[in-house]
């Protein structure tokens, strides 16, 4: 499951790509989204699965680094926003993925 999201992060070259990623999370089947987050929670507790969390973190850090190369603080905020909005979307709550574009715009992207 993680492979398709990692692949999408690897393709991020503009803020709109992150917006589409979060919107994709919101559009996917609710049961699948919940299963993916359950896997991440399980990986947080099990060292043998920790690699999946690390892969996501590395890919997300690389994506935000391409968008905001000169602003480490804003990169951290952008990564937190992607994680948070994706979780909210997976839970079925309304999200504003445009927030990601506005966050990048505030950083000059």
CA distances from 21 to 45, 46, 71, 93 (A): 26, 27, 22, 16
**What is the number of alpha carbons within 13 Å of residue 60 lying toward its C-beta?**
21
3-state secondary structure of 28: coil
DSSP percent split of the chain into helix, strand, coil, nearest 5: 80, 0, 20
What is the average pLDDT score of the chain? Answer: 86
Sequence-distant (6+) residues with CB within 8 A of 66 are 12, 13
Confidence category of residue 1, pLDDT binned at 50, 70, 90: low
Q: What is the DSSP letter of 93?
A: -
Domain holding 43, by residue range, is: 2-106
Tens of pLDDT, residue by residue over 56-91, are: 999 999 999 999 999 999 999 999 999 988 888 888
Q: Looking at the 3D structure of the chain, how many domains does it have?
A: 1
């Amino acid at each position: 499951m993680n492979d398709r999201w990692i692949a999408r992060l690897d393709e991020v070259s503009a803020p709109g790509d992150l917006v589409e990623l979060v919107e994709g999370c919101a559009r996917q089947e609710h049961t699948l989204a919940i299963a993916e987050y359950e896997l991440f929670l399980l990986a947080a507790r099990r060292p043998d699965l920790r690699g999946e969390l690390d892969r996501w973190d590395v890919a997300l850090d690389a994506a935000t680094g391409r968008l905001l190369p000169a602003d480490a603080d804003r990169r951290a905020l952008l990564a937190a926003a992607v994680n948070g909005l994706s979780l909210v979307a997976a839970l079925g709550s309304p999200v504003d993925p445009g927030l990601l574009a506005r966050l990048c715009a505030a950083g000059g992207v």
